[in-house]
Structure 1
Amino acid sequence: MQQPDLSDAHWRKSSLSGSGPSCVEMAFVGNDVAVRDTKNRDGGTLIFHRNEWTTFINGIKSGHYDNLT
């Protein structure tokens, strides 16, 4: 997968994260979603297709990942 251009990405994090440094940020970039660590923004970015991201978020909302060990 080719890395999308992130130079104009509008990064955001959950309002539930507060002001702490231990969270991730995400940005919608075309048909992709970019995710990075706020503690190391230059350390790399994960790229997901929007369909993958939607499946992941729906899994979180439905509790699919609540009991993983």
Structure 2
Amino acid sequence: MTEPRGWRKSTYTQQETACVEVGRINEGAAVRDTKDRSAGYFTADHQQWSAFINAIKTNRFD
């Protein structure tokens, strides 16, 4: 697996430090905690990431 690249966090977080960042990997996406970047990250393949984003957009977590 490739190392994540292009880490970014939502612009909605403004100056908040308690959020997550998303990085790109060839197989999908990687996610890490901005408060403890040294703790590592987890990954999701393209299908998992798409399902997660779709769940957010359709308010399944509300």
Task: Report the structure, 1 or 2, having the larger strand content.
Answer: 2
Structure 2 residues without counterparts, runs of 5 or longer: none
Q: In terms of Rg, which structure is larger?
A: 1
Secondary structure of 2:7 counterpart: coil
Matched, 1:55 2:51: yes
User: How many percent identity over aligned positions?
Assistant: 35
Measured on the aligned residues, the alpha-carbon RMSD in Å equals 1.2
Return structure 1 stretches of 4+ with deviation > 6 angstroms.
Answer: none
Structure-2 residue corresponding to 1:19: 15
Unaligned regions of 5+ residues in structure 1, if any? none
Q: Greater relative contact order: 1 or 2 (C-alpha under 8 angstroms, separation 6 or more)? A: 2
Report which of the two has the higher share of helix: 2
Cα distance in 2 for partners of 1:32, 1:57 equals 12
